[in-house]
Amino acid sequence: MTTAIPKAGTFSERAATTRHYLMCRPDFFAVTYAINPWMDPAKGADAATAVRQWEGLVAAYERLGHKVSLIDPVDGLPDMVFAANGALVVDGKVYGARFAYPERAAEGPAYLSWFEGYETREAAFTNEGEGDFLTLEEFILAGTGFRTDRAAHLEAQEFLGRPVVTLQLVDPRFYHLDTALFPLDGRNVAYYPGAFSEGSRRVLARLFPDAVLATEADAEVLGLNAVSDGKNIVINAEAVALREQLTRQGYEVVPVDLTELRKAGGGPKCCTLEIRERSERINKHGALAAEATEPLGEEASTV
């Protein structure tokens, strides 16, 4: 049987939900190696500019009423600013990252140690956290093809108790799922069809008939590496057509400038790991837990 997806809300029903984000200041940001098509060590990057732009992203979240917690950056880990890759947190349970490239391998343990006091699982299979796992109300969308093994999809499903839907990425520019798709409100998404295999495009069309479809031009400026709270969408400023489309759909668009971080293939979502708590729980960082969503039963279609 397939999973029944609630229809996306109307414009008047759009409502923001307060979120808790974990982020990492890019004090040691640099482009000294190339592990994706965006990175060019010959061009490098400026850490001071990256910090200024990152601070603008943090300020945008705080203006929207969201809570931002920080993990200390580690010298020698220039990509640690991309906090989304550090873990997947659902219902207060933390599934750790196991990075595909040795240059980032130490980030996984660093992020998992921050979650001391949570129920955690060190991954047995390669995965890069929310880079390839995006959580909706009823299930988790999971990318594979470049950075995350399909076996990690099943491992995450077993640990988190949420159905996982596998999507095949085929364009190396969009090496993580969060570069090609983002959840709009827990029931609907925006995505660039050209980033996915033919079969995965059919799956997305069936699951999300009302999805917002982005152009290649907007995908190329990482316009889909965006963060939505259900009403407000923080997005790269250069994604002009996508911004206009989202505004017509009734969302409040918050443009930000992260051009320096994009030199390493990152945008707003890459810098943002969402902490989804279980209800009635307070962790060591003083965050009051929010109400958890119950997982679907065994009849759901999963990996």
Which residue numbers are catalytic? Answer: 176, 270
Displacement of CA 30 from its chain's centroid (Å)? 21
**Ramachandran region of residue 91, left (φ > 0), alpha (ψ -120 to 50) or beta?**
left
Residue 298 CB burial class (10 angstroms; 0-12, 13-18, ≥19): exposed
Contact 97/86 with Cβ under 8 angstroms?
Answer: yes
Instruction: Return the structure tokens found at 156.
Output: 């995450």
Nearest CA to 184 among 254, 255, 138, 251? 251
Alpha carbons 34 and 41: distance in angstroms, whole number: 7
Q: In degrees, to the nearest 5, what angle opens at C-alpha 120 toward C-alphas 117 and 121?
A: 160
List the one residue out of 85, 82, 110 whose CA is nearest residue 100. 85
